[in-house]
Structure 1
Amino acid sequence: MCRLFIAADPALWDSTTRSIRIDGMVTSIRLENFFWTVLAEIGGRDGLATTQLITKLYHEANEAGHDSGNFTSFLRVCCGRYLALQLSGELPDGLPIAKIDAGDILERENDRRKAVA
């Protein structure tokens, strides 16, 4: 079982730090290359560069009242959710995420959690 993970390209878990300007302030974000690839894919669906996606996520998270103190963890979770939603069929291939009804997806997820509990 573990060979599937252990024999993967080690470059996937190498970390890369990128400097990004958000609201005129330069910040550094350090993520594993795997997550940078997923963020690029997420942004690409909506015609956004990775830095544009990260800035958008930062603003929307702040508007929702989230603490941005651990923003890199938030980005990793965004990547994981994106991949899980793809796997479950909730994100149709090629459709921009901005055009998907998040409310419906969140409601179905909540219903599934209740059914399991």
Structure 2
Amino acid sequence: MCQLFAHQPQRDYESQTRSLRIDGHCTSIRLEMAFWDTLEEIASKEDMSLAKFLTRLYSEVLDHCGEVHNFASLLRCSCLIYRSKVVAVMPDFLEGAAPRLVAAE
């Protein structure tokens, strides 16, 4: 089972810090490349730039909760939610077969 996790591309878990402006404030966010890639995919599907998508998400959380705690963690969890809706991994690897990817319903 660990091969599924250990053999992932190293680039995916290397982190990168990106600077952006949200609500007129400059900030930086450090995430692993796999999360940046997923956020770019989400933004693209929403026909937005990544900066515009992150600004909109931040504003919506601010409107809903009154404040935004740990935006980087919110982004990671958003990516997990998005991926869980797009792709599900079938647990065939428990029987020694290669895992299959199928669309989640």
TM-score (ref. length: structure 1): 0.72
Is structure 2 residue 47 aligned with structure 1 residue 73? no
Q: Secondary structure of the equivalent of 1:69?
A: coil
Structure 2, unpaired ranges of 5+: 88-103
Distance change (3 Å), C-alpha of 1:66 and 1:82: farther
Residue 48 of structure 1 is matched in structure 2 by: 48
* Cα RMSD (Å): 1.1
Aligned counterparts, 1:1-117, within 5 A: 1-65=1-65, 67-87=67-87, 88-89=104-105
**CA distance in structure 2 between the partners assigned to 1:50 and 1:19 by the alignment:** 12
> Deviation of residue 67 (structure 1)?
3.6
Residue 108 of structure 1 is matched in structure 2 by: none
| Structure 1 stretches of at least 4 aligned residues deviating more than 3 Å after TM superposition | none
**CA distance in structure 2 between the partners assigned to 1:15 and 1:66 by the alignment:** 29
Distance change (3 Å), C-alpha of 1:3 and 1:66: farther
> Deviation of residue 46 (structure 1)?
1.2
> Size of the alignment, in residue pairs?
89
> Deviation of residue 55 (structure 1)?
0.6
Structure 1, unpaired ranges of 5+: 90-117
Structure with greater helix share of residues: 1
> Deviation of residue 69 (structure 1)?
2.1
How high is the sequence identity, in percent, across the aligned residues? 38
